[in-house]
């Protein structure tokens, strides 16, 4: 068995880490970050559209986001979508742009965000374990078809477990770093 046999599963595990990092970017850590708006869709002429596709988003200072729609008629829809989201922030509308001022995080909000970060981490760990399980099933089927030997299967099990342990350790490190970031601000 060579490492190329595992590449499909390594790619899936890498994708799991990417998804988790994307979810982390959307967790508001007290700084203005345009990624917090990525999960918000706006009703734009009858179809849900991400904010960054109908407006420019800028960060003039560390605690403020400015959203300037290319079509002024959609300003109210963007405002409603942000208010309806779970950001917990009310945008300020001046008729041309929306300003979102991020208040400093309270201790309660930090704990809440920490729980959210840990949940994302746990979901990613579960996904990694599911990928390992799928890989094991694939290689066990190969062994049943006599495409690989029993010794090869044992080596595959060890290699997959080692790979899984590395990724789960990585996830733990990323979760700790994100939680630490929540308390630095």
- Tens of pLDDT, residues 42-56: 888 888 888 888 888
| The predicted structure's pLDDT at residue 88 | 72
Second CATH level (architecture) for the domain 34-101: 2-Layer Sandwich (3.30)
Q: Please tell me which residue, 181 or 78, carries the higher pLDDT value.
A: 78
CATH class of the domain whose range is 3-25+106-184: mainly alpha
Give the mean pLDDT of the chain.
86
What proportion of the chain, given as a percentage, has pLDDT over 70?
96
Whether this model's pTM surpasses 0.75 = no
Extents of the domains making up the chain: 3-25+106-184, 34-101
Question: CA geometry: angle at 129 spanning 23 and 149, to 5°?
Answer: 145
For residues 74 and 123, what is the distance between their CA atoms, to the nearest angstrom?
35
**Token code pair at residue 76:** 């109210």
- Please tell me the least confidently modeled range out of 56-65, 84-93, 94-103, 145-154: 84-93
pLDDT in the model for residue 28: 65
**DSSP type of residue 91:** P
């Amino acid at each position: 068995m060579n490492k190329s046999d595992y590449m499909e599963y390594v790619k899936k595990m890498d994708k799991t880490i990417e998804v988790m990092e994307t979810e982390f970017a959307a967790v508001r850590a007290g700084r203005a970050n345009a990624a917090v708006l990525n999960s918000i869709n706006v009703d734009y002429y009858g179809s849900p559209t991400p904010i960054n596709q109908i407006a420019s988003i800028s960060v003039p200072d560390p605690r403020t986001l400015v959203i300037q729609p290319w079509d002024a008629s959609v300003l109210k829809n963007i405002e409603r979508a942000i208010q309806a989201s779970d950001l917990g922030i009310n945008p300020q509308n001046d008729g041309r742009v929306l300003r979102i001022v991020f208040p400093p995080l309270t201790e309660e909000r930090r704990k809440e965000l920490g729980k959210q970060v840990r949940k994302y981490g746990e979901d990613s760990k579960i996904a990694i374990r599911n990928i390992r399980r799928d890989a094991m099933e694939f290689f066990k089927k190969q062994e049943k078809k006599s495409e690989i030997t029993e010794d090869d299967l044992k080596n595959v099990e060890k290699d997959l477990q080692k790979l899984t342990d590395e990724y789960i350790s990585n996830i733990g490190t990323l979760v700790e770093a994100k939680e630490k970031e929540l308390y630095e601000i």
